[in-house]
A and B are shown apart, each in its own frame.
Chain A
Amino acid sequence: MKKKDIIKYALIKALPVIISYLFIGMAYGIVMTKAGYSFCWSLGISLTVYTGAFQFILVSLLNQGASLVTIALTALFMNSRQTFYGLSFLDDFNSMGQRRWYMIQTLTDETYAVNCMLDKDDTITIKDRRIIMFYVALFSHLSWAAASILGGIFGSLIPFDLTGIDFCMTALFVTIFIDQWKSAYKHFPALCGLSIAILLCILLGPNRFMLPSLALTCAILLLRRTLKKEELC
């Protein structure tokens, strides 16, 4: 494939991610501005931290004046899934030279999904596929960063009340949850996470249930695998 074709192909594959990042990234910029942080912070955080869900949580952690330890633990637990995403692309990223560092740092829920789709596409060579992955990562990253500046500037100029715009994060999780539910062979992991989170939220309270829920879910899933010697689903 010619370079021009590769970029075009990557753009088409990344388009759903780019559109959703523009939308959610702008919402993030608006939430940051509403909370009193300049768009420079939104841009800096979007370029470096670059993980949608946690960035929204970070706004409320900053507002609460949470300690650095709390922020570190929340980041580690909330983003632990990033570690598992990397496992699927060890060979691909390792053979991408200097670009591998960029690929590793910009792997998100959404680009992971696009990369998985590319993996199943037999019409492109492995070499082309890896270049396409790079451009998918680049376009997604830049649209997220651009959207947070736009939202940051736009958000302070907007004349009407935007209370409730942060619901788009909840809506994003609901849609991903439904998509995963439909594609999953077994529903135990989803039901396990759901019931433990509800139970611990009631028992421990809304500000303290997150870390115990994730830890307990991991433990139960591993225990169940040991007991049942379950095949990978």
Chain B
Amino acid sequence: MLNNIQIAAAVAVSFLCTAFLRLLPFLFFRKDKQIPPFIQYLGKVLSSAIMAVLVIYCLRNTGTGSFQSGVAQIAAVLFTAVIHLWKKNTYLSITAGTVFYMMLVHLLLA
């Protein structure tokens, strides 16, 4: 466990990096300046690519962890996806998927 100063340093670094990224476009592109086309392009296509990478990041230990926990994660992801495609309600999908996963973890890993 880290001490409070180490945590504060980690939080400060996280904040500064995030704030810098949020500020960046406003530092670069003042009014009436043209945004380079390749930046516009990246801005449009990157978000769906990043979401895919983030899903895999969440599932990164599926292959190396226990078989049961891998099964629970994959099953819960599929369950969430099916609920979302069916009902098209983000909050319902997240709630249902999370409850489903918690139940699986209790049943399989208890």
Q: How far is it, in angstroms, between the C-alpha of A105 and the C-alpha of B24 when the chains are bound? A: 11
Main secondary structure on A side of the interface with B: helix
Residue among B15, B52, B104 with the most chain A CB within 10 A?
A: B52
Asked if A139 is at the interface of the complex by the 8 Å CB criterion, the answer is no
**Residues of A within 8 A of B (CB-CB), count:** 94
Residues of A within 8 A of B11 (CB): 41, 44-45, 48-49, 58
Q: A48-74: which residues lie under 8 A (CB-CB) from chain B?
A: 48-51, 53-54, 57-58, 61-62, 65-66, 68, 71-72
Are B53 and A210 closer than 8 Å at their CB atoms?
yes
Min CB–CB distance B35 → chain A (angstroms):
6
Min CB–CB distance B32 → chain A (angstroms):
10
Are B17 and A225 closer than 8 Å at their CB atoms?
no
Main secondary structure on B side of the interface with A: helix
Asked if A126 is at the interface of the complex by the 8 Å CB criterion, the answer is no
Name which of A2-10, A128-136, A161-169 contacts chain B.
A161-169
Are B106 and A104 closer than 8 Å at their CB atoms?
no
A contact residues vs B (CB 8 Å cutoff): 16, 19-20, 23-24, 27, 36-37, 41, 44-45, 48-51, 53-54, 57-58, 61-62, 65-66, 68, 71-72, 75-76, 78-88, 90-91, 93-94, 100, 104-105, 107, 161-165, 167-181, 184, 188-194, 196-198, 201-202, 206-207, 209-210, 213-214, 217-218, 221-222, 225, 230, 232-233
What 9 new A-B contacts, CB under 8 Å, besides A165-B98, A218-B42? A78-B54, A82-B18, A84-B39, A90-B25, A174-B93, A190-B48, A193-B49, A206-B63, A217-B50
B contact residues vs A (CB 8 Å cutoff): 1-2, 7, 9-11, 13-15, 17-19, 21-26, 29-31, 35, 37-61, 63-64, 73, 76-77, 80-81, 84-85, 90-91, 93-95, 97-98, 101-102, 104-106
- The contact sample of 7 A-B pairs, CB cut-off 8 A, is A23-B91, A48-B15, A81-B50, A161-B106, A170-B55, A213-B53, A225-B41
